[in-house]
Amino acid sequence: MFSSKVKTALADGVRIVELNGEFIGGNETDDLRDTLAQESKDGTQKLLIDLAGATYLNSTALGALISAHTSFSKRGAQVAICNASDNINNIFVITKLALVFQAYGTRSEAMAALQG
């Protein structure tokens, strides 16, 4: 939507936000936050954050994900993540975010869960 590191698509009623590269607190992280905020403002009901292309998420990027999860949950919308690398998955486990987010190994698993 805003940068080449954050792309959005719509598939079968699910808004997919794809992250690519490092999110280290610069413009790319601002774009992530803005994209997620816009999706919430637009009333998106099913959001899938695909981390297949993400190589690093710093605390600011994690904060953007947490903020989006909170915003979507307050509206009764669903948020899921998929395709996290081992390193990013470890961050989610260490920070206990693995208990907050619905996480799936593949996009197809996540899509099935969001549509089911």
Architecture of the domain made up of 6-115: 2-Layer Sandwich (3.30)
Which pTM was predicted?
0.94
pLDDT in tens, 50-84: 999 999 999 999 999 999 999 999 999 999 999 99
Q: What is the 3-state secondary structure (H, E, C) of 25-84?
A: CCHHHHHHHHHHHHHHHCCCCEEEEEEEEEEEECHHHHHHHHHHHHHHHHCCCEEEEECC
